[in-house]
């Protein structure tokens, strides 16, 4: 069989990188980067997710048609996020101008 | 269905069969990406609208438990990947050992989640008529450090000054917290069930260098669940920690 076998050494290096990523995420959350806190958190998470997909899930060594399906999932997700968020961004009445959802008004505080 | 050994009749080779199975699994995972994506979208819109309440809610979570669980889950992904490797190189005993380690780590994750949910019940942080984000600061127990409670009280007063409807809006945060972590945990429970099935097969010596498709496919699912948590941890636990 011609399948690619990823060596334990690569798995270990990926694991250690993921651990370092987790540590940096926690550290960065306690620093005040203003608006960039969320950007940094998402950038690290996306970097970690990419490593998992490429190595743990063998995407790097998969046939092109499998890789195409993976890229498509990111593409569909981007469409959903971009179109919905642009809709919310360009409306006069955003969610924050609404009263609390009616169901929560029944709640005693 | 015609079947020779592990090879089904409609495939030419085991390799072709495995590639088809992986492709099918990936297509399923695409639907999962969009399924969780909808929740992340709901989260984004509400966090943007109710930033103060999401920060206050997030600060009630325990970073040590959440961060520890992140380590446990990533470690379980490593053992899962190693189970695939063991099958590929024909080390049958190692397959069982790594699969059992993965199941054990998954169980630890779910156990920690139970502890966290219990804390939220105790602190009246379940959305509903008894929800009170001030509950813990109003009713500290002997185990709570007084200075910690004082800080929490002060932070909550500041948050209420910014958002008078904090108690209502924080329930949106906790609805998403329980919804997203709950669905993630459900995926873990299903994964644990699949692992039990794999372990049974590994005891029978089913997985070999020629045939290890089930280990590979369940591995894809397990790593996907890991990726969901990689996003959930910073988004739920690490909002507004720099104060």
Tens of pLDDT, residue by residue, chain B (243 residues): 678 888 998 899 999 999 999 999 999 999 999 999 999 999 999 999 899 999 999 999 999 999 999 999 999 999 999 999 999 999 999 999 999 999 999 999 999 999 999 999 999 999 998 999 999 999 988 888 889 899 999 999 999 999 999 999 999 999 999 999 999 999 999 999 999 999 999 999 999 999 999 999 999 999 999 999 999 999 999 998 886
Q: Model ipTM?
A: 0.92
Question: pTM here?
Answer: 0.92
Q: Does A26 touch chain B (CB under 8 A)?
A: yes
Q: Does A82 touch chain B (CB under 8 A)?
A: no
CA distance A101 to B171: 10
CB contact under 8 A, A96 and B80: no
- The range of the structural domain enclosing residue A55 comes to 8-105
Q: Does A40 touch chain B (CB under 8 A)?
A: no
CB contact under 8 A, A19 and B44: no
CA distance B43 to B208: 43
Closest Cα of chain B to A47: distance in Å?
Answer: 10
Identify the bridge partners of residue B7 per DSSP, sorted by sequence position: B4
Q: What pLDDT is stored for residue A101 in this prediction?
A: 58
Instruction: Check: CB of residue B206 under 8 Å from CB of residue A43.
Output: no
Give the tens place of pLDDT for each residue, A56-89: 999 999 999 999 999 999 999 999 999 999 988 8
Residue B83 tokens read as 């189970």
Residue contacts between A and B (CB atoms, under 8 Å): 159
Domains parsed from chain B with CATH numbers: 13-237 (1.20.120.80)
Task: Provide the number of structural domains found in chain A.
Answer: 1
The CB-based long-range contact list for B149-155 (8 Å cut-off, 24+ gap) reads B152/B59, B155/B56, B155/B59, B155/B243
CA distance B85 to B209: 9
Residue A2 lies in a domain: no
SS3 content of chain A, % helix, strand, coil (to 5): 70, 0, 30
């Amino acid at each position: 069989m011609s399948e690619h076998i990823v060596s334990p050494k690569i798995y270990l290096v990926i694991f250690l990188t993921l651990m370092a990523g987790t540590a940096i995420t926690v550290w960065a959350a306690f620093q005040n980067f203003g608006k960039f806190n969320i950007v940094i958190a998402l950038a690290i998470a996306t970097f970690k997710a990419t490593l998992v997909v490429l190595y743990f899930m063998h995407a790097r060594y998969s046939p092109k048609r499998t890789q195409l399906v993976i890229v498509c999932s990111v593409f569909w997700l981007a469409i959903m996020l971009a179109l919905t968020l642009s809709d919310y961004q360009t409306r006069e009445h955003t969610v924050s101008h609404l009263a609390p959802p009616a169901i929560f008004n029944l709640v005693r505080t | 269905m015609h079947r020779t050994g592990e090879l089904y009749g409609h495939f030419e080779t085991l390799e072709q069969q495995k590639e088809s199975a992986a492709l099918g699994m990936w297509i399923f995972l695409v639907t999962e990406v969009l399924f969780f994506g909808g929740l992340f979208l709901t989260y984004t819109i509400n966090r943007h609208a109710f930033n103060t309440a999401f920060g206050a809610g997030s600060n009630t979570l325990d970073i040590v438990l959440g961060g520890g669980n992140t380590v446990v889950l990533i470690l379980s992904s490593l053992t899962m990947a190693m189970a695939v490797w063991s099958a590929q190189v024909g080390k049958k005993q190692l397959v069982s050992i790594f699969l059992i380690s993965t199941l054990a780590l998954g169980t630890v994750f779910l156990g920690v989640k139970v502890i966290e949910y219990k804390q939220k019940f105790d602190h009246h942080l379940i959305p509903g008529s008894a929800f009170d984000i001030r509950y813990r600061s109003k009713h500290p127990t002997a185990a709570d450090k007084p200075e910690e409670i004082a800080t929490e009280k002060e932070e909550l007063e500041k948050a209420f000054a910014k958002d008078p409807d904090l108690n209502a809006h924080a329930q949106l945060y906790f609805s998403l917290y329980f919804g997203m972590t709950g669905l993630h945990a459900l995926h873990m429970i299903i994964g644990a069930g699949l692992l039990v099935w794999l372990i049974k097969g590994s005891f029978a010596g089913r997985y070999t260098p020629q045939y290890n498709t089930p280990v590979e496919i369940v591995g894809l699912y397990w790593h996907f669940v890991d990726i969901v948590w990689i996003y959930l941890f910073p988004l739920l636990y690490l909002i507004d920690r720099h104060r």
